[in-house]
Copies of this chain bind each other. A is one copy, B any other.
Amino acid sequence: MATGANITADDVAAEAGVSRWTVTRAFRKDASISAKSRAKVMQAAERLGYVPDLRAASLASDRSNLVALLVDDFANPHKLVMMERLTRVMRRKGWDTLLVNTLDKADTGPALLNASQRRVDAVILIGLQFDDDVLAAAQHARRFSKLIVFARSSQKPDTISIAVDDVQAMRDIAAYVDAQGYRRPFFVAGPRTSSAHLLRKETFIDYWQQTHGLRPDCVNVAAYDPALSGAVVETALKDRARADLPDVLVCENDALAIGAIDTLRHRLGLRVPGDIAVTGFDDIPQADSLNYQLTTYRQPLDEMADYLVEVLDSREDRDMNRLFRGAIVRRDSA
């Protein structure tokens, strides 16, 4: 076990009969080194089982090639999709990922401190509890140069936001629902309270007021949790007369939508989309299942991830916020 522990570049240098610095060079793609030297070094390294120590490299160069990924809400399946995509793209480009589970809202500060101690080059936030005020309060712990908010828009200065254009997206959804002929929309919103979070809901309501002069009903669910969403929807709808029921539930994301569908079908005895249509947001894998066939909105995650590594690589200091445009994924639910 632990084959050849503590083999250093010096050992390899001795074995290959060169200097330590030449060993280092051999391990870099760019480097002015003769093919012969490199071969000699590589063979010696192989023989000895040398593995460069990135801690030391990072300490000396002040670049860690490490990025902290702060995640708070592991209940939403979309998190898994994002984590897969981000770690895949980053690893391909030479960035390692420090996964930090932000235990609860109060833990944001400690989590950032954690990342700082590892001297990560950047911190990526994917989550919902990272309100701008939380971020502001936690900023003093910063010892990294880039704070990136992924898949959520943020107004905070000193922060790079890579997200879908919520206003555009929700207008697309509203227009789609409208075009399908639904006239009694009902919005199922998530737990967000700060202004940056209300964009989807507000956009949807605005659209409806402007085009049809009516204000859609809304409910707020305290977490992006399907079961909770179902409970809230049930409470809101169970005592309504059939004629008073909405004809479409527009949900802030798929997790809420799926919980809503389950409740409509299994608690309220309604058909989806027969009696009530439902839309989501995110296009999680489940949305494509036979059972849900959820009409939803897909963010261009690949593009967003590619841009993310571009940001990581960049040394620029200009504004790097970027909004992307996704597309409706039309299925049977609406």
Closest to A293 in B: B266
Contact, CB under 8 Å: A117 / B262: no
The verdict on A307 contacting chain B, using a C-beta distance below 8 Å, is no
The verdict on A134 contacting chain B, using a C-beta distance below 8 Å, is no
The verdict on A218 contacting chain B, using a C-beta distance below 8 Å, is no
Q: Which residues of chain B are within 8 angstroms of A158 by Cβ–Cβ distance? A: 1
Closest to A117 in B: B54
Contact, CB under 8 Å: B99 / A97: yes
Cβ distance A80 to chain B, nearest Cβ, rounded Å: 5
Closest to A103 in B: B88
Give the contacts of A96-111 with B (CB-CB under 8 A): 96-101, 103
Closest to A49 in B: B140
Give the contacts of A26-66 with B (CB-CB under 8 A): 49, 51-56, 58-59, 64, 66
Contact, CB under 8 Å: B143 / A69: no
Q: How large is the interface on A (under 10, 10 to 19, 20 to 34, 35 or more residues)?
A: 35 or more
Q: A5-B143, A54-B117, A117-B54 are in contact. Are A96 and B98 (CB under 8 A)?
A: yes
The verdict on A290 contacting chain B, using a C-beta distance below 8 Å, is yes
Q: Which residues of chain B are within 8 angstroms of A140 by Cβ–Cβ distance? A: 3, 49
Closest to A68 in B: B96
Q: A77-B80, A88-B101, A99-B83 are in contact. Are A143 and B51 (CB under 8 A)?
A: yes
Contact, CB under 8 Å: B142 / A3: yes
Closest to A86 in B: B101
The verdict on A79 contacting chain B, using a C-beta distance below 8 Å, is yes
Q: Which of these, B119, B261, B267, contacts A55 with CB under 8 Å?
A: B119
Contact, CB under 8 Å: A87 / B100: yes
The verdict on A113 contacting chain B, using a C-beta distance below 8 Å, is yes
Q: Which of these, B1, B69, B92, contacts A145 with CB under 8 Å?
A: B1
Q: Which residues of chain B are within 8 angstroms of A91 by Cβ–Cβ distance? A: 100-101, 103, 114
Q: Mark A68-84, 1 if CB is under 8 A from B, else 0.
A: 01000011010111011
Q: Mark A287-330, 1 if CB is under 8 A from B, else 0.
A: 01111000000000000000000000000000000000000000
- Ranked 8 nearest A-B pairs via Cβ: A74-B84, A87-B101, A99-B99, A262-B290, A266-B290, A54-B117, A80-B80, A97-B99
**Chain A residues near B (Cβ < 8 Å):** 1-3, 5, 49, 51-56, 58-59, 64, 66, 69, 74-75, 77, 79-81, 83-84, 87-88, 91-92, 96-101, 103, 113-114, 116-119, 139-145, 158, 226-227, 230, 258-259, 261-263, 265-267, 285-286, 288-291
Pairs across A and B, CB under 8 Å, 12 listed: A5-B143, A51-B141, A53-B59, A53-B119, A56-B59, A59-B59, A66-B118, A74-B80, A75-B285, A97-B98, A98-B99, A265-B291
